[in-house]
Structure 1
């Protein structure tokens, strides 16, 4: 079994990028291929909660890589391929009689992320800083109103802390999503605790909170506002469980995440599966 600081970086199944303070060793390359889905949802959190037009399935096929530039600094990359379906959609701008519903499906890139993580301390508590840049590589399809990511660049500075004790570990983060193009920025905080159940199995519980600062005033086309895909002021209080089956450098992951509350986000759990390897 590899040391704990090598294992923790694998726990990214339901996250866009790893939020762990442990960095890779120099020359090590960690890769993760994952699939996540929020299926057939129509209700979103709000004040009050509300329904979108039609039912939406949001799937993400994701490649995540982390490379050790040194024993204290890692380079991160995340490439999401989004596949979004909308069924029984009715354009709110069109007046018609009878069944006006349509179905659409689009597959293209979401927001690609690049990042750097640097470790400041490797004592009892491991302390690190991370800076991600989410590139505006998503698309918007006018006819279907499908948006595959934020129409903005996002800069995410974070402070990360973690420790291990026996068969357990704990890690946490605090930071912000600072978005361009008149999107609101968000404060972020979260943490997870994991335990090694057997020689090869880990079980992890997590909490993830994102709170909008409501400081942006971007406007969207009426049909995009009707489905709320990657609109402004999205926020949530989320929780979930993850499991890892590991065999040396290779392993499998599975998990689910849901929200206790939120704004402009689905009232439906996400499920995720992945496969990883370290070279």
Structure 2
């Protein structure tokens, strides 16, 4: 593994996975929709820091340390028993290398519209999620090594894209065990005249409730590019990025519908090899509230 000192050129080359860390949500896709007026609302803080970058060819390089912190709102609301609206919005994203100052900004808003296809015996849903480029697509930070250099560390990718997801779920009738399975397609467009490759995502989740109190879960998610991207056409937009991620989480009840959530996520080469991405663990802590509809 080679050690690289990050200059302006190298920083731009390696920033492509930054926005993937935010936009590809760690929240699992499921076949279930919320009941009418049922809600789920979470605020979480996420921290990621890494020196390990995997190139488009899969080579592992060591660079100056990149750190990203984010404060993210995630919410679900049932408009009907079969139709749910979902929002995933980084309210603030902090980006910086050890060789730069840290800059921050609002992230892109992802809105998801989820329709139940089957509800009872085998929950099955389809969702469409446009991602609105309202974050800072260009945000320059000064180098602490050479004050005449500025480095682009965006909090949004500037690109309009749409995720379409088909998901199914199951829950055992006599045991606190559930599972989710999904496949997704990301239709990407362009930014500043540069087009990006579409992406395919897959994932599976298993969850279990311990002592009828604490939910724990384990997930595997993966993304691959539809096109063979051999040259990075844009350094900071995630074109050609691929990975497999795994995560472990827990939800601990605090009081009357309020829970503490903990999650750890990391990357491997299990389904798709790491390409054009920084690789390290992401730690998340959050608080969420579940609102149940009133029974007649």
1-structure distance, mates of 2:250, 2:228: 37
2:29 maps to 1:19:
yes
Query: For residues 218 and 264 of structure 1, what CA distance do their matches in structure 2 show?
Result: 9
Q: Partner of 2:282 in structure 1? A: 270
Matches within 5 A, 1:87-166: 87-88=98-99, 103-139=100-136, 140-142=138-140, 143-165=150-172, 166=175
What do residues 148-186 of structure 1 show as CA deviations (whole Å, max 9, x unaligned)? 232311101110100001110001110111111011111
> How do residues 233-272 of structure 1 correspond to structure 2 at under 5 angstroms?
233-246=240-253, 247-261=255-269, 262-272=274-284
Q: Match for residue 143 of structure 2?
A: none
Instruction: Please say if residues 28 and 205 of structure 2, whose CA atoms lie closer than 8 Å, have aligned partners that are also in contact.
Output: no
More displaced stretch, 111-120 vs 230-239: 230-239
Q: Which residue of 2 aligns with 1:65?
A: 75
Following superposition of structure 1 onto structure 2, how do residues 23-34 of structure 1 map, counting pairs within 5 Å? 23-34=33-44
Cα RMSD over matched residues? 2.0
Q: 8 Å contact 1:106–1:146 — kept in the other structure?
A: yes
Match of 1:197?
A: 210
Tell me, in whole angstroms, the C-alpha distance in 2 between the residues paired with 1:106 and 1:29: 33
The answer to whether the Cα contact below 8 Å between 1:78 and 1:113 also exists between their aligned partners in 2 is: yes
Compute the displacement of 1:188 (Å). Answer: 0.7
1:47-104 CA-partner distances (Å, limit 9, x unpaired): 242436521101110011111110110111111021112112xxxxxxxxxxxxxx22
Task: Report deviation, 1:42.
Answer: 1.9
Distance 1:45 1:118, change over 3 A: same
Structure 1 unaligned regions, length at least 5:
1-13, 89-102
Sort the Cα spacing of 1:218 and 1:244 in 2 relative to 1 into closer, same or farther, 3 A: same
TM-score, normalised via structure 2 length: 0.77
- Cα separation, 2, equivalents of 1:203 and 1:169: 11
Matching residue of 1:93: none
Q: 1:264: Cα distance to partner?
A: 1.4
Q: 1:213 aligns with which of 198, 223, 226?
A: 226
Local SS of the residue matching 2:278:
coil
TM-score, normalised by the number of residues in structure 1: 0.81
SS at 1:263 equivalent: coil
Match of 1:10 in 2: none
1:237 is displaced (CA, Å) by: 0.8
Aligned residues: 244
Distance 1:137 1:52, change over 3 A: farther
The Cα of 1:19 is off from its aligned counterpart by 1.2
Aligned to 2:182: 173
Q: Give, in angstroms, the shift of residue 230 of structure 1.
A: 3.7
Which residue in 2 is equivalent to 1:100?
none
Is the 2:44–2:287 Cα contact (8 Å) retained in structure 1? yes
